[in-house]
Structure 1
């Protein structure tokens, strides 16, 4: 199962980095997009919206204002679901995802992983 982390960072204190670490720890495939290039664990942080294939889940770590530029991109990937982590809640995007038959979850990736609900 492949997860795309949007809002990835090299800062080990940030939740996006911790999510990448925990996803890898649970043997999930991870791809990542962030503002700055770099590495999070062994994952290359891309700065472009690459056409990743086979993305099951997109987990967001960017605020709603910055999500707008990702709407079409995320929908084009046809993920099974999008996770809105705390601070990323976005009713406008929920409606777009629903209209495109993509599930969304307002939750915390770290909690879902820790409780085996991911």
Structure 2
């Protein structure tokens, strides 16, 4: 089942895990919506600089930013109302995780790449 997935902290550097997640999500048939203040386009996919520019229903938000950045985006993430947020290694943020759970949003501390590779990413919402 195709999901709408927001990659927060998208990168055009092939060595970055957010880039690898973009490629893997695409290969698994998911639609990626990319957020980064530093790039405008990634292999033909538009990149927005602000979460408020995302105007779709979000199944999964996958985090590739540190806790200082994500703390500053807490309200925008809550307003986006993703069904699930994945905190990839290095992006953990207990305060944000607590706020998301309180809002009824599923929270995972996991690696998007591993979830995809082991067929654990797809979830029926």
TM-score by length of 2: 0.90
Q: Mind listing any 5+ residue stretches in structure 2 that lack a counterpart?
A: none
Pairs within 5 Å for 1:57-76: 57-76=60-79
| 1:36 aligns with one of 32, 35, 38 | 38
RMSD of Structure 2 on Structure 1 (CA): 1.0
Report how many residues are paired: 118
Corresponding residue for residue 2 of structure 1? 4
1:18: how far off?
Answer: 0.5
- TM-score for both structures, normalised by structure 1: 0.95
**Offset at residue 68 of structure 1 (A):** 1.4
Alignment of 1:38-53 (within 5 A): 38-49=40-51, 50-53=53-56
Q: Could you list the structure 1 runs, at least 4 aligned residues long, displaced by more than 3 angstroms after superposition.
A: none
Distance in 1, Cα, partners of 2:41 & 2:20: 13
Residue number among 80, 98, 101 corresponding to 2:101 in the alignment = 98
